[in-house]
Chain A
Amino acid sequence: MGSQNFKIAAVIVSLLVLLIIVPYCNSFVVLLATRALVFAILAMSLDILLGFTGLASLGQAAYFGVGAYLTAILANNYGFGLKWDFWLMIPIGMAVGGALAAFFGLFAIRATGTYFLMITLALGQCVWGLAYRWNSMTGGDNGITMKGGRPQFGIDLTSDINFFYLTFGFFVATLLALYILVRSPFGKSLLGIRERELRMRILGYNVWLHKYVAFIIAGAFGGLSGVLWAHANGIVTPETVVLTTSVDALLMTVLGGAGTLVGGAIGSAIVFGLREYVSTLVPWWQYVLGGVYVLTILYLPTGLMGIPGRIRQWRNSQTKRETTKMAPAPS
């Protein structure tokens, strides 16, 4: 329990540091931090599936994309969501993300392992296909530029720093909401399904329904991150729903540590740092990104958040070896 409190304190301190430092940075860093926070929300939504339910989804970008496209289309075609009604856009984005997940879940939830991975990939590709080819609606390859800019309603969100504060707020709210969710009895049942699905089924839990609800919640928060992304980025293109976006979200979660929630945020910061920052410095940044993928998988099974635990484990095994060395050899 002590280590749990320590972790919570560490998270709060790092969040405060972020909140204090970022406003003093140049506008590029502010925008970068904003985007990384948006992706952190996406990665945390995926963590509900991957880390807490044991479902590896290759299609989380679908909900992200639907939230982003919906925001852009409503803003450009109907001028909706650019004034105070931006606050309505948030629940609408979450509802649509959740609704899409509720529809997709009907196909996907029954599958497990490789087949779950494949069916979520196919569902994600369906959304990508529509975004890419449905020119009259999505602008096709060019995407949709947010002509109206960011919302203004007393608070001027067109300023990058104000938008950073807003995104930060939504990030903290998401973190809290998902933290409460995974600590609730429902969250404990999800963990049980991840560990021993058959046992949970025999105990009388409705495993399908638990997974389905988790899938919908993940979709809803994916939709939320999409709404924010449309405004953070200013343009929504098929790139938002492409397969590599889903894969990136997976890597962020695994890199930070699946099943830890904040791990997704750490992973997002690192991947974004590489993708958006290092790429402006050197042309060969993809070697680093590819290397991070390979090294994480080979050497960091529990992610960055799991490093302290691994070191402790390694130390224990060392001391054990010492003691066996000192013990008299059996003759």
Chain B
Amino acid sequence: MGTQFWVVQAFNGVSYGALLFLVGAGLSLIFGVMRIVNLSHGSYFLLGGYVALSVIGHTGSWLLSIPIAALTIAVVGLIMERLFLRPEGHAKLVRDALIALGIALVVRLAIGPILPQLLPGLIGGIIQVTLVVIVFAIPIFLLLQRISAVAIEADVLRQVLMTVGFAFLFQQAALDIWGGNNFDIQPPSALTQSLVIGGTYLPLYRLFMIVGALVIGIVLWLAMEKTRMGAAVRATVDDAQMARGVGIDTNKISMLIFALGAGMAALGGVIGGAFLGVYPGLDFEMLPIAFAVVIIGGMGSLGGAAIGALLVGLADNFGKALFPELAYFTLYAPMVLILAIKPTGLFGRD
């Protein structure tokens, strides 16, 4: 194990950390601002990769796939936040309608094979679906109106289970849309070269990841520290009630942060898709690692997420290289120790 081993491993660790920063920063901010423990964050990562694959398949442009995937998943996250995590006013009606429609469609899937074929072809199918929706969705919707839904803002266990439920829904949807195969996202050939420094090969793509995460991190940091909006976000993290009291629209901020976090996770999914791949199950593999990043750095802190991502990236790489049999243990044991000694993480305030 010469110097080269250490240089390559450290480089790989830092670049993996760069990827983890994209996933962890959003999760951390979401917790900091909304106090929501979001277990569908891994799904955003996976869905981002899948959307990018579709965009690349249609347009052939890798560069284009990045913003489209990030935006699409940001919208998915936004809808989830508006309708299910923090529904207010009419959003509750829309949520109940959506649930009723969902149940009706599942019922339609279940009884589909035994339904009589009214008319052949597409029109018959549409009529069938419409009938099922009318027969099932409307009564269910009316029933749901009578049952008062429980607010989940204050209950972390309920947040966990609800967001896990969404993770399962996303998993099944991804399986239905993109199938169960393993895919790789092929970056442009310019990025697949390697840089040779003193006899050590450094893949350009990993260098790109580090630079990309650095740029995004700096932009985010500037936005958080230097803009009015950033100040409002920081105020909400510190004390949401007080922030509301001085006239900050915390509702808008929570919406913004959730979309931003989901979009960043999707971004990570696109960029990580080149060497992790895109496959069913990646969502739940990424999720605990993202939590390790957030916990080690401290929830709600951008700088903490950066340090946490770096530490986890390095621990993961050196763990796998030096103690392969203890690889994941070396990743989660520090998480336990930090939680036990300083529950708010290395950089968390509270």
Per-residue B-contact encoding for A119-159, CB less than 8 Å = 1, 0 else = 10111011011101111110000000000000000000000
Nearest to B172 among chain A residues (CB) is A286
Binding-face segment, A27-35, A37-45, A91-99, A240-248: A240-248
Nearest to B343 among chain A residues (CB) is A115
Interface: A111 (CB within 8 A): yes
Cβ contact within 8 Å between B295 and A125: no
Cβ contact within 8 Å between B340 and A297: no
Interface: B188 (CB within 8 A): no
Interface: B197 (CB within 8 A): no
Binding-face segment, A67-75, A80-88, A174-182, A287-295: A287-295
Within 8 A of A (CB), among B124-180: 144, 147, 149-150, 152, 156-158, 160-162, 164-169, 171-172, 175-176
For residue B29, give the distance in angstroms from its CB to the closest CB of chain A.
15
Cβ contact within 8 Å between B106 and A133: no
Cβ contact within 8 Å between A254 and B157: yes
Cβ contact within 8 Å between B336 and A123: yes
Alpha-carbon distance A128/B327, docked complex (angstroms) = 11
Interface: A6 (CB within 8 A): no
Cβ contact within 8 Å between A111 and B165: no
Q: Which residues of B contact A288 (CB under 8 A)?
A: 106
Nearest to B289 among chain A residues (CB) is A125
Interface: A58 (CB within 8 A): yes
Given A113-B156, A297-B161, A301-B150, A122–B335 Cβ distance below 8 Å? yes
Per-residue A-contact encoding for B76-87, CB less than 8 Å = 1, 0 else = 000000001000
Alpha-carbon distance A289/B162, docked complex (angstroms) = 11
Interface: B339 (CB within 8 A): yes
Per-residue B-contact encoding for A227-249, CB less than 8 Å = 1, 0 else = 00000000000000011100100
Nearest to B323 among chain A residues (CB) is A133
Q: Which residues of A contact B291 (CB under 8 A)?
A: 118, 121-122
Per-residue B-contact encoding for A178-194, CB less than 8 Å = 1, 0 else = 00000000000000000
Nearest to A301 among chain B residues (CB) is B150
- Residues of A in contact (CB 8 Å), total 52
Interface: B333 (CB within 8 A): yes
Cβ contact within 8 Å between A298 and B327: no
Nearest to B110 among chain A residues (CB) is A282
Q: Which residues of A contact B288 (CB under 8 A)?
A: 121, 125, 243
Interface: B255 (CB within 8 A): no
Within 8 A of A (CB), among B65-119: 84, 99, 102-103, 106, 109-110
Interface: B331 (CB within 8 A): yes
Cβ contact within 8 Å between B327 and A129: yes
Cβ contact within 8 Å between A117 and B157: yes
Interface: B37 (CB within 8 A): yes
Q: Secondary structure at chain B's binding surface: helix, strand, loop or mixed? A: helix
Cβ contact within 8 Å between B168 and A289: yes
Alpha-carbon distance A133/B326, docked complex (angstroms) = 6
Interface: B284 (CB within 8 A): yes
Interface: A107 (CB within 8 A): yes
- Within 8 Å by CB of B329, from A121, A126, A290, A293, lies A126
Cβ contact within 8 Å between B339 and A290: no
Alpha-carbon distance A243/B102, docked complex (angstroms) = 27
Q: Which residues of B contact A289 (CB under 8 A)?
A: 165, 168
Alpha-carbon distance A135/B324, docked complex (angstroms) = 9
- Within 8 Å by CB of A129, from B84, B144, B328, lies B328
- Within 8 Å by CB of B339, from A111, A292, A298, lies A111
Q: Which residues of B contact A56 (CB under 8 A)?
A: 156-157, 160
Nearest to B84 among chain A residues (CB) is A294
Q: Which residues of B contact A291 (CB under 8 A)?
A: 102-103, 106, 165, 169
Interface: A76 (CB within 8 A): no
Q: Which residues of B contact A115 (CB under 8 A)?
A: 339, 343
Q: Which residues of A contact B337 (CB under 8 A)?
A: 107
Extra contacts, 9 of them, besides A129-B326, A294-B169 (Cβ < 8 A), are A56-B157, A122-B335, A126-B328, A137-B325, A250-B160, A284-B176, A291-B103, A297-B158, A298-B84
Question: Can you list 15 residue pairs at the A/B interface with Cβ under 8 Å?
Answer: A111-B340, A114-B299, A121-B288, A125-B328, A125-B332, A129-B331, A133-B325, A133-B326, A243-B288, A251-B161, A282-B110, A284-B176, A285-B172, A286-B169, A287-B169
What 4 A-B pairs have minimum CB-CB distances, sorted nearest first?
A293-B165, A129-B328, A290-B168, A286-B172
